[in-house]
Amino acid sequence: MRGQVVLHPDRDGYVALVERLRSAGYWMCVDLCGVDYLGHPAGRWLPDGVTAERFEVVLNLLNHTEHSRIRVRLQVPADDPVVPTISHLHPGVSNHERETFDLFGIAFDGHPDPSRILMPPGWVGHPLRKDDAPARIPVQFKGAAS
């Protein structure tokens, strides 16, 4: 959104920032998702001092009193894709964190239920990673010749 405030904490300051935002009235978490920038040719804008990493966790918070929205963009390195959970601050984000783990492989340290939510328990890989090889499951359609 044009004119929206976007914050870029480091992993160590992420939970403290979300706590401060909650105290400031940003108590509604609208969305949390992952992004994989592998092979992204155009790059992306980040402020000075923020190092671009392969993965990003994006959090959108609303303040209904002030009618404002804040986006938090957290850089997550590919060699250590772990960020602290905020499910204790925003319980509704629990399934968003599970989905982000399931599809991107970004783990949320301290999450009360870090199990898969969309893929079967034995699934190997994370299907929204750009380097994940898609599974080939043969499907026989009714009426189709074998």
Whether residue 1 has pLDDT greater than 60: no
Q: How confident is the model over 55-73, as pLDDT tens digits?
A: 999 999 999 999 999 999 9
In whole angstroms, how far apart are CA 117 and each of 34, 38, 68, 98, 121? 15, 24, 31, 6, 8
Between CA 98 and CA 33 the distance in angstroms is: 10
Question: Is the pLDDT confidence value at 40 over 90?
Answer: no
Is residue 42 predicted with pLDDT exceeding 80?
no
What global pTM score does this model have? 0.88
Confidence of residue 32 (pLDDT cuts 50, 70, 90): very high
- Domains, the chain: 5-109 (3.30.460.80)
pLDDT band, very low/low/confident/very high, at 114 (cuts 50, 70, 90): very high
Extended strands (E) in 1-146? 5-7, 28-36, 55-63, 68-76, 82-84, 107-109
Please give the single-letter amino acid code of residue 109: D
Q: Which tokens sit at 24?
A: 């400031």
Of 1 and 92, the structure prediction assigns the larger pLDDT to 92
* Residue 20: per-residue pLDDT: 98
CA dihedral 91, 105, 42, 45 (to 10 degrees): 40
Strand-pairing partners, residue 63, are 68
| CA dist., res. 129 & res. 107, Å (int) | 14
45 near 82, Cβ under 8 Å?
A: no
Q: What is the mean pLDDT of residues 90-101?
A: 97
Summary mean pLDDT of the chain: 92
Buried (b) or exposed (e) across 119-141, using 16+ Cβ within 10 A? eeeeeeebebbeeeeeeeeeeee
SS3 (DSSP) at 14: helix
Sheet strands (E) in 14-67 = 28-36, 55-63
